[in-house]
Amino acid sequence: MLYFLDLMGTAVFAFSGILQARRLQMDGFGVLVLAAVTAIGGGTMRDLVLGVQPVFWVTEPQYLLLIVATCVVSLFLVRASSRHFARKLLLWADAVGLATFTAIGVNKALAVGAPPIVAISMGVLTGVGGGVLRDVLAREVPLVLRTEIYATACIAGGVVLTGTLYWGGNHHIATLACIAVTLLIRLAAIQWHWRLPVFGAGDETKPS
């Protein structure tokens, strides 16, 4: 199940990179780069931090082939969509990838013996890392650094997964619960514009 979810998350995040590249009117190579960075960037950073060598896509090139295939298929689909629809689709595709990769990151960290708090951190890194690189290359402030509920959703999902396993829950159920919680929180934040409090708001210096 985890392998299937990992492939699905790779395709979805690659698609979100393609949508961003389309918005910026990049050429074919730019589309491929942005798709690849978004899809495998977070997992690459996770493996490097955990000391997993080589990183996953070096020994499993099917991830790179999946990214290329997603680019080829998506180019035809994206061209037929309006810019407003593509923007909405980007947010929803990003949310699905975020939830899936969070669960993958937590599980991989636990598999190498990391404690729960480190596993949750690796879930956040896996979930947001690719999107951060994508937004940086697109010259935008990454979603994780804005006031939107983004990394917070990953933390909540990671806590659910590790907590369920700690109390003896089924691994598959814990993973699905993590994905569901992360996805629901992120989609709710998109739908109802949930925001975190802004640091320093209202602290403007008053004249003496």
Q: What is the pLDDT of residues 128-162, one digit of tens each?
A: 999 899 999 988 888 788 767 899 999 999 999 99
> What's the rounded mean pLDDT across residues 25-46?
94
**CB within 8 Å of 125: residues ≥ 6 apart:** 42, 45, 46, 49, 105
pLDDT of 77 strictly over 80 = no
Task: Specify the pLDDT at position 8.
Answer: 85
Question: What token pair was written down for 127?
Answer: 């979930």
- pTM listed for this prediction: 0.88
> What's the rounded mean pLDDT across residues 115-124?
97
Q: Which of 8-12, 71-75, 87-91, 108-112 is predicted least confidently?
A: 87-91
Per-residue burial over 125-140, b if 16 or more Cβ lie within 10 Å, else e, is: bbbbbbbbbbbebbee
pLDDT of 64 strictly over 50 = yes
> What's the rounded mean pLDDT across residues 77-95?
75
Number of H helices, E strands in the chain: 8, 0
Task: Specify the pLDDT at position 169.
Answer: 92
* Torsion of the alpha carbons at 95, 100, 101 and 106, rounded to the nearest 10: 130
Cα(69)–Cα(101) distance, rounded to whole angstroms? 20
Q: What is the pLDDT of residues 181-204, one digit of tens each?
A: 999 999 999 999 888 877 665 555
Cβ-based neighbour number of residue 81 at 10 Å: 14
Cβ-based neighbour number of residue 194 at 10 Å: 15
Cα(152)–Cα(118) distance, rounded to whole angstroms? 15
> What's the rounded mean pLDDT across residues 1-8?
81
Q: Is the preceding peptide bond at 116 cis, omega within 30 degrees of 0?
A: no
Task: Specify the pLDDT at position 207.
Answer: 46
pLDDT of 208 strictly over 50 = no
Cα(193)–Cα(186) distance, rounded to whole angstroms? 10
Question: What token pair was written down for 131?
Answer: 């999107």
Cα(15)–Cα(31) distance, rounded to whole angstroms? 10
